[in-house]
Amino acid sequence: MMAARSLAKQVGVQPACAALGVSRATYYRGLQPSLAVRCERTPPLKLRPEESKAVLELLHSPRFVDSSPRQMWATLLDDDRRYLCSVRTMYRLLAAHGEVKERRNQLRHPKYEKPELLATGPNEIWSWDITKLKGPENGFWYYLYLILDVFSRCVVGWLVANREEAVLAKELIAASLKKQGIDQDQLTLHADRGSSMKSKSVARLLSNLGVSQSHSRPYTSNDNPYSESQFKTLKYHPSYPERFGSLQDAGAFIGGFIRWYNTEHRHGHLALLTPADVHYGRGSAILERRSVTLLEAYGNHPRRFKGRVPKTGTLPQEVWINPPKPEEEPFRSLPETPGPEQLLGREEEPRALPGSSGLCR
């Protein structure tokens, strides 16, 4: 406004407001004298300072130090026939001095860190979980233990049992590690916070074998997405039965499904390769053969591809569990507003008209 007033004295109000982008109504409103600020009045029902001090002293007294304001209010009315203030006023006085809080010992939930895991190849991060399979009767379940490689999505170990027990999980993990030939400090095993996943026997086994252990946050399914997605693929498959008649029946079906999933299922996030091809390093050769076939088809009929060379896709270079958020860009300050002296000494730039070769400013 100071710049607008200074410029208006030289070029007039309308040009000055137009040059600075200020509304003329705002300009004229700023010339009017400001209204006097109303004096704040003390509410007539507010306690006087000496009354507030007396209430606080009574709240801190040995007689009422362990009582709530409601109990103190009722006790004073019944025993002393006294009324100092309302219960809400007592709470307001305590809140002003930071004395309103929970006085009982309550459980403090720890703050769980979000797991951030990166896999750049097979056998770097495994994810495992347990899901229920419906048995022959209501309330009867079988339990599927399944270990999945995060990078290749290949199932590296599974087990069907009639109970959930840490001993079975320990045996499955040990057999899977031995089958894949995992070395010390090579693998991270990720799971949720189930009883079997947090058991001491499993933790002791992983520590002895040099396998790092990672867990999801409580009630956060997104921290273990690959196992959850695998179970959905299983239970939404057209051949998945409504119930399993026996433990052997469930084991036979899961075995056939795992063979199909690892060796025949074309995974959408793996350039339509099977998990076994990616896990055992056959993916690059298969993509090269696909590329040769597509180039031959393009050479024979380029118009069918609309002149674009077909691509086979690429293998993932990295797979994350909870990738870190990108850092925010630093704030960029706006350019300084030119003063009236710069505006007066600057010639107006020519504007480009629609349809001309320049851009409209």
Give the pLDDT confidence score for residue 348 in this predicted structure: 47
**CA 243/CA 332 separation, integer angstroms:** 61
At residue 23, what is the residue type? S
Q: What are the two backbone dihedrals, phi and then psi, of residue 132, each rounded to the nearest 5 degrees?
A: -95, 145
Residue type, position 50, single letter: E
State the burial class of residue 233 (Cβ atoms within 10 Å of its Cβ: 0-12, 13-18, 19+): middle
Domain ranges of the chain: 2-31, 58-96, 117-266
Homologous superfamily of 117-266? Ribonuclease H-like superfamily/Ribonuclease H (3.30.420.10)
Nearest to 1 by CA among 59, 282, 13: 13
Per-residue pLDDT 10s for the chain (361 aa) are 888 888 888 888 898 898 888 888 888 888 887 655 556 677 888 899 999 999 999 999 999 988 999 999 999 999 999 999 999 999 999 999 988 887 677 777 888 889 999 999 999 999 999 999 999 999 999 999 999 999 999 999 999 999 999 999 999 999 999 999 999 999 999 999 999 999 999 999 999 999 999 999 988 888 999 999 999 999 999 999 999 999 999 999 999 999 999 999 999 999 999 999 999 999 999 999 999 999 999 999 999 998 899 988 899 899 999 998 876 555 555 455 555 555 455 444 444 433 433 333 3
DSSP code of 305? G
pLDDT of residue 342: 52
Q: Which residues contact 283 (CB under 8 A, 6 or more apart)?
A: 270, 271, 273, 277, 315
Q: Are 257 and 265 in contact (CB under 8 A)?
A: no
pLDDT of residue 352: 41
- Buried b / exposed e over 218-232, threshold 16 CB at 10 Å, is eeeeebbebbbebbe
Contact 4, 17 (CB under 8 A): yes
Q: Do residues 180 and 146 lie in contact, with contact meaning Cβ atoms separated by under 8 Å?
A: no
Q: Check residue 109 and give its pLDDT.
A: 80
Say which residues have a Cβ less than 8 Å from residue 175's Cβ, sequence separation at least 6: 157
Residue 34: its pLDDT value, please? 63
How confident is the model at residue 287, as a pLDDT?
95
**Cβ 72 vs Cβ 90: under 8 Å:** yes
Q: Are 189 and 126 in contact (CB under 8 A)?
A: yes
Of 124, 172, 125, 123, nearest in space to 144 by CA? 172
Q: Are 85 and 70 in contact (CB under 8 A)?
A: no
d(CA 31, CA 33): 6
Tokens of 227: 């196992």
